Amino acid sequence: MKNLFLTNKKSTRKEYKEIIKQTAKAISRSFKNASAYSGPTPQELKQIIKGTNILPETGIGWEQTLAQVEEKILPNMLRTSSPDYMPHLHSPATIESIASELIISTFNQSMDSWDQAPVATEIEVEVIRQLCALYGYPKKSDGVFTSGGSQSNQTAIILARDWFISNILNYDVKKYGLPENFKKLRMYTSEISHFSMEKSAHILGLGYESVVKVPVDSHKRMDFATLEKLVKQDIEDGNIPFLAVATIGTTDFGSIDPVDKIARLCKKYNMWLHADAAYGSGVILSQKYSSKISSLHKCDSITVDFHKMFLLPISCSAVLVKDGTDFSALTIHADYLNREEDEEDGYTNLVDKSLQTTRRFDALKVWMSFQARGKNGWSDIITTSMDNARYLYSVIKQNQNFEVITEPEISSVVFRYKSSDENLSDEINKKVRRSLLHEHGIVIGQTVSDGHVCLKFTLLNPLMTHEKLDNLVKLIQNLCENRE
């Protein structure tokens, strides 16, 4: 390699194009079959990688480096674009969004200050503006891109805490820290909500005990009647409810909490309502199903993940806030970065509303993919996955060898094989998932419902077909029966 960077010099442009071309060819060659995984166990992968000196005294050069990547790494990567990959909320990446990653990496903009990302800043501002409108937010709303759902949720919880303490308790939390009665603060979330709720409470000094886990009903949605009782009981006990989190697509089941009812409760008790729509936010693009999340505009903040149903490369998430002034909780000025006189002259410094300082230009992925496919293209993509989940549910429900846990609301189907010996059912389901992974190159999920091990299809790939689903169910049934 003769060059360090891509510059205006002809030699660097030539080498850049050649290296990108060689890499693309190597990646393409690794797609030798339709399976999602080549099969090695953890022990086998350790042996493949073991002994590689990551920092040799003398570099081995580009050609040998790429050769090692092609030999040891690419064949063993998960191929998330395969319909055989469906374990998690982990999507394939559309081709145009992969191209956007090349632009993002090549220009390496940093989204903290305008002078580090001029056009990138303006693109993110415009993307956020249009996203807020997409979810029904007013003009005063705002948002920012984040590293993922966990950080979006954490940002929202910080804003909720500071809004409540400043406006309801009349205490300057930004200046003085948490008030003396902070141990009485309570936030409410479904018992099957994302673990980032507890993690955020810990990081913010509130502790796990501040997180009240609300039971779910038979459809895996937050039980509203219980939520209301818990809030009233906490008030009677002298605790301070400040936040409720409605999950719009639980991680395992894709269940959607009752936003309308929760919103009325929050308004009554001066609580902030956050929607963790990391999974379900993509439903907004389906002309057939968008009404399922039409109440999101009633929430004070919304977590949107683009590396789930929107099929964009990791990482790409955003948190939207109904009242943009609430981001002031995160604003602090530094002379070397976000000078007030620059902002007064129209230079937008996005660090003012972000937990991160250095941050990638992830908004470009949304901009390019939305431009390329449009509303109709995205509606077809999202609707196909949701239709597939309903088809799979109908197939499994009719098969007496399986128990399906709940009817899907989005695109996840959780079920379990029922052995004639109930004591063996959990072990059979576990072993079959491993068999699919290492012997068939098929990657599905595993979780627990009511104490029993379950299998999970997370259907994000619109290339999945009904015929493929039929064949997968037959394969799983055969593998289970052979382990009886």
Determine the angle formed by the axes of helices 422-439 and 466-481, rounding to 10 degrees.
120
What pLDDT is stored for residue 332 in this prediction? 79
What pLDDT is stored for residue 336 in this prediction? 58
Bridge partner residues of 369 (DSSP): none
What pLDDT is stored for residue 225 in this prediction? 97
What pLDDT is stored for residue 338 in this prediction? 63
Contact at 8 Å (CB) between 353 and 327? yes
Dmax (CA) of the chain:
74
User: Coil, strand, or helix at residue 113?
Assistant: coil
What pLDDT is stored for residue 171 in this prediction? 94
In terms of DSSP H, where are the helices of 195-258? 196-203, 224-236
What pLDDT is stored for residue 334 in this prediction? 65
Closest of 141, 136, 462 to residue 309, by C-alpha = 462
Residue 91 CA to residue 369 CA, distance in Å, equals 14
Bridge partner residues of 212 (DSSP): 188
Entry pTM: 0.95
234-to-96, 172, 269, 352 alpha-carbon distances in Å: 50, 24, 12, 35
What pLDDT is stored for residue 268 in this prediction? 97
User: Coil, strand, or helix at residue 258?
Assistant: coil
Per-residue pLDDT of the chain (484 residues; tens, 9 = 90+): 889 999 999 999 999 999 999 999 999 999 999 999 999 999 999 999 988 888 999 999 999 999 999 999 999 999 999 999 999 999 999 999 999 999 999 999 999 989 999 999 999 999 999 999 999 999 999 999 999 999 999 999 999 999 999 999 999 998 999 999 999 999 999 999 999 999 999 999 999 999 999 999 999 999 999 999 999 999 999 999 999 999 999 999 999 999 999 999 999 999 999 999 999 999 999 999 999 999 999 999 999 999 999 999 999 999 999 999 999 988 877 665 666 767 777 888 998 899 888 999 999 999 999 999 999 999 999 999 999 999 999 999 999 999 999 999 999 999 999 988 878 999 999 999 999 999 999 999 999 999 999 999 999 999 999 999 999 999 999 999 988 7
Contact at 8 Å (CB) between 464 and 442? no
Q: Which two tokens stand for residue 129?
A: 């503006």
Q: Which two tokens stand for residue 194?
A: 């994302």
Strands 402-404 and 142-146: unpaired
Closest of 344, 472, 461, 338 to residue 402, by C-alpha = 472
